[in-house]
Amino acid sequence: MENLTQLAFDSAPIGVVLTENRIIRTCNTMFCKMTGFRMGDLVDQSCRILYSSEAEFDRVRDIGIQALSKGEPYSDLRLLLCSNGEVVWCRFRANALDRNDPLARTVLTFARLQETAQFPTLTKRERDVVLGLRSGRTSKHIAAELGLSTRTIEDVRARLLKKFQAATTHEVVAKFISLES
pLDDT tens-digit profile, the chain (181 residues): 568 888 898 899 999 999 999 999 999 999 999 999 999 999 999 999 998 788 778 878 888 888 999 999 998 878 888 999 887 888 899 999 999 999 999 999 999 876 544 567 788 888 889 888 887 889 999 999 889 999 999 999 999 999 888 888 888 888 777 665 5
Distance CA 167, CA 1 (A): 54
Helices (H), the chain: 2-11, 29-35, 39-42, 54-60, 65-69, 124-134, 139-146, 150-163, 169-180
Domain span at residue 152 reads 124-180
State whether 145 and 173 are in the same domain: yes
By three-state DSSP, how is residue 66 classified?
Answer: helix
Tell me, yes or no, whether 107 and 149 share the same domain: no
Same domain, 33 and 87: yes
Is 12 a domain residue?
Answer: yes
